[in-house]
Amino acid sequence: MKILHISAECFPIAKVGGLADVVGALPKYQKDLGATSSVVMPYYNNTFTQNNTFETLHDHYISLGHEYYHFKVLKLTNHQLGFDLFCIDIPDLLYTEFVYSNADTKRFLAFQIATLDWILTLKATPDIIHVHDHHAGLIPFMMSCSFKYASLKNIPTVLTIHNAQYQGWFSHALANLIPPFNYEKTGLLDWDGSINSLAAAIKCAWSVTTVSPTYLEELKIKANGLEALLQHESKKCTGILNGIDWNVWNPETDERLLKNFSKTTVISGKKANKKWLCKEFNLDIKKPLFAFIGRLVGEKGADLFSDIFEQALTENKISILLLGSGHAATEVELAAIPKENFNTFIGYDEKLAHIMYAGADFLLMPSRVEPCGLNQMYSLRYGTVPIVNATGGLKDTIIDIDEKAGFGIVHDGVTVEKVTTAIHKATNYYHAKAFKKNLKRIMAIDHSWNNSAAAYVHLYKSLKH
């Protein structure tokens, strides 16, 4: 079975968040299950594309309304990823240093059209086309309604929703950018008066998955306007929990760490990494270290961070280290917190993230929305106790220490009070006997892709005629 994943992000080529990690890992694990998966993504101007060589497989023009754009399909020549990577090179639109911008309607429409134009030329077409989020969301519509893609109509399509907040809206006045289609089908593109790429994908894909079972249930109640649609289409929707790349995220071999460790050496291994962090960020190694890694946006609870941190630092003898970037107002608020037992790295740093998962004692995730969340799984793998709000995938993966077989700290809702209470509980737990024993236990929890990759393959098989 040949699967083609279509996505705006893929680790390690271009990553903004969890979408990249999933698209960069899932194909490898599907391969182990006998499915040949490959990935198509835009060709951005970044370190990966500059440092690797690509061969040109296809060279042509696409039309976007009345405009023509030159595009190439490039294939990565080395085999480092464990799957084939195809990049759509449209120099005028996609070859940028950033992944997302304010001109994304045109950029991602061009990406999707070029991808389908290329698929039309293939002798062996994929058995399944798997699109990720709204950036590839018009593909199922175009395959079923655009005249030029009629020959692709019978290829089953799967949409995975990683984040339903962003939906790829644009005006019906731009409908002429989509390759000509039967205008009676315009309703499939529409949601609430505008073209909505994610809604079109939910309507037209043969099957829809969300990245955790709880997220699917939540979306039926709160989905940035798409609730009724998800309820209506619920029969073709499944929640499949993401996994993590067990080889990339392995504290025994992770080259980014100061010291590697296993379940048996977790205490000394974590200490060495914590020592480096404390030295680098001027923190006290004797105090429990709470970390946050991620985007500074409302979904992650970031607007409350300065209040939470100031109160938690006053009430407890702890240190807090934050790695992330996002809303300018939040960055300013964080900069105003005195650098006593507190520090930040504002920016993106993959190596530092790994060291923080390894060296911190607790990982904070007071997310209001968390479709799956990968950080809590990385944190478990590296023996760091996650403190999470009971939402989405966090609810599906973390059990509170007060519950039977519990191993993390779970709060119900995101307020300064609730999060600081959870931090206080964690501080007490840090000094309890059970704490060190728990680290070995959490490291043994299996969140590798094995189960989830098999669930996807099972789903693909159910769609084949």
Interacting residues toward ligand ADP by CB under 6 A? 17-18, 21, 293-295, 323-325, 348-350, 353, 373-375
Are the CB atoms for 409 and 418 separated by under 8 Å? no
Quote the CA–CA distance of 155 and 181 in Å, as a whole number.
Answer: 18
Q: What residue type is assigned to position 23 of the chain?
A: V
Of 302, 266, 257, the C-alpha closest to 380 is 266
- Please state the closest distance from residue 261 (CB atom) to ligand ADP, in A: 19
- Please state the closest distance from residue 446 (CB atom) to ligand ADP, in A: 18
Nearer to ligand ADP, 227 or 349 (CB): 349
Quote the CA–CA distance of 92 and 77 in Å, as a whole number.
Answer: 24
Quote the CA–CA distance of 25 and 29 in Å, as a whole number.
Answer: 7
- Please state the closest distance from residue 460 (CB atom) to ligand ADP, in A: 23
- Please state the closest distance from residue 442 (CB atom) to ligand ADP, in A: 17
Nearer to ligand ADP, 178 or 293 (CB): 293
Nearer to ligand ADP, 21 or 361 (CB): 21
Nearer to ligand ADP, 236 or 295 (CB): 295
Q: Which residue, judged by CB position, is nearest to ligand ADP in the bound state?
A: 18
Nearer to ligand ADP, 42 or 373 (CB): 373
Nearer to ligand ADP, 163 or 427 (CB): 163
Nearer to ligand ADP, 197 or 375 (CB): 375
- Please state the closest distance from residue 167 (CB atom) to ligand ADP, in A: 16
- Please state the closest distance from residue 329 (CB atom) to ligand ADP, in A: 17
Of 95, 98, 93, the C-alpha closest to 110 is 93
- Please state the closest distance from residue 67 (CB atom) to ligand ADP, in A: 32
Nearer to ligand ADP, 11 or 54 (CB): 11
- Please state the closest distance from residue 116 (CB atom) to ligand ADP, in A: 26
**Chain-centroid distance, C-alpha 386:** 18
- Please state the closest distance from residue 20 (CB atom) to ligand ADP, in A: 8
Nearer to ligand ADP, 353 or 387 (CB): 353
Are the CB atoms for 128 and 460 separated by under 8 Å? yes
Burial class (CB in 10 A: 0-12, 13-18, 19+), 349: middle
Nearer to ligand ADP, 116 or 388 (CB): 388
- Please state the closest distance from residue 34 (CB atom) to ligand ADP, in A: 27
Nearer to ligand ADP, 179 or 393 (CB): 393
Quote the CA–CA distance of 389 and 157 in Å, as a whole number.
Answer: 33
Of 347, 345, 354, the C-alpha closest to 280 is 345
Nearer to ligand ADP, 307 or 331 (CB): 331
- Please state the closest distance from residue 299 (CB atom) to ligand ADP, in A: 7
